[in-house]
Amino acid sequence: MTATSRDRVRAFLARSHADRVPINYCANGGIDRRLKTHFGLDEHDGEGLRQALGVDFRGIGPRWRGGRLHAELPGVDVDGMWGIRRRWVEHPSGGYHDFCDWPLKEADVAAVAAWAIPDPDGYDYTVIPEQCARLDTYGLHLGGAGLGDICNSTGMLMGMERVYAALAGGDEAWELLVERKLAHDLAVTERSLLAARGRIDFVWMGEDLGSQRGPLCSLAAWRKRLRPWHQRMIDLARGHGAAVMVHSCGASSAFFDDLVEMGVGAIDTLQPDAAGMDADRLKRLWGGRLAFHGGIGTGGIVANGTAAEARAEAERVLATFMPGGGYAFTPAHALQDNTPTENVLAIYAAAHAAGVYRSAA
């Protein structure tokens, strides 16, 4: 009998496998639109594209109904819920919104306390049971790379220079911003888990801990400043019977032993071109303790090679991570707009062909 998507995702989280590796998807707007055109889909039909690619994961969550908390500004894209500011930056393949202005860059404790943050009561949690029922055959998660995230999310408002200075020496205003953001994330996650009534397979949280060359902060600083905050989200999820997957870009493997100790079951992105993040090393050192979600680089062969080269790279990653189970196929980051459409189709074809377990075939 063919496994369901939920069977595949739950086996992955248990470091086992079903009939094939579960498949996930993330892409920037330009390549996403081209893929929808290729499959004859409407530009807004995200569900149709996921079905066409054979994606086994679905994210669910409450609907914000609290309106705009932060005013619009000329020439700047202002996030209405958090007040994060971005500007559109053109590039040869299209463009992207980059963070700018950092409205709390010089903020003191009083300014942080007065900054509008979404109230957990402003969400509609009644939509969650319907989402769970409609998507019941898929692997379901709450959150994503920004849930429980500290450095990036506060850096979007204060600037990364202030964040790293705070990690090194403390900053009362920054710590208050972290506490306020985390209190929001914990409250919304708990109420969502309760509304889902045990149907959530995993909570997806994040914290970018690595650059291309090494960790962004010392292990000692992370243990002192960040680990206690992250532990609260992990404990909440596990207390409701959900597994935990942590997103972390870059060379982040120095933190993996601690994350295992904290109760994390899976790691997302596995950026293959960052130091120490090659598939062979990760599988050999942590394959018995962590499940892996990612590993398909988006800035190398997949973007710049031929379709045949992209497929061969996907097959290589699959062959490394698949033995024994505990692997989910997905790009390490959002597929970029300079990626040829045929290369994306090639890697997903590889996932469906080379991602099958012989014992389940």
Q: Is residue 112 domain-resident?
A: yes
Rounded Cα distance, 3 and 278, in Å: 30
Cβ atoms 335, 343 nearer than 8 A: no
CATH for 297 = 3.20.20.210
**Sheet containing strand 94-99, strands side by side:** 77-78, 85-91, 94-99
Please name the residue ranges forming H helices in 224-277: 227-239, 256-262
Rounded Cα distance, 80 and 70, in Å: 5
- Residue 360 has a pLDDT of 56
- Residue 105 has a pLDDT of 98
Record the pTM: 0.97
First-to-last CA distance in the chain?
A: 10
3-state secondary structure of 173: helix
Q: Is residue 155 domain-resident?
A: yes
Q: Is residue 94 domain-resident?
A: no
Q: Is residue 266 domain-resident?
A: yes
- Residue 358 has a pLDDT of 87
What is the tally of structural domains in the chain?
1
Q: Is residue 75 domain-resident?
A: no
- Residue 286 has a pLDDT of 98
Q: Is residue 91 domain-resident?
A: no
pLDDT per residue of the chain (361 residues) written in tens, 0 to 9:
689 999 999 999 999 999 999 999 999 999 999 999 999 999 999 999 999 999 999 999 999 999 999 999 999 999 999 999 999 999 888 888 999 999 999 999 999 999 999 999 999 999 999 999 999 999 999 999 999 999 999 999 999 999 999 999 989 999 999 999 999 999 999 999 999 999 999 999 999 999 999 999 999 999 999 999 999 999 999 999 999 999 999 999 999 999 999 999 999 999 999 999 999 999 999 999 999 999 999 989 999 999 999 999 999 999 999 999 999 999 999 999 999 999 999 999 999 999 999 875 5
Q: Is residue 89 domain-resident?
A: no
- Residue 204 has a pLDDT of 98
Rounded Cα distance, 37 and 184, in Å: 38
Residue 246 Cα to chain centre, angstroms: 7
Q: Determine the length of the chain.
A: 361
Backbone φ and ψ for 8, nearest 5 degrees, come out as -65, -45
Q: Is residue 197 domain-resident?
A: yes
Structural domain that includes position 306 = 5-70+105-360
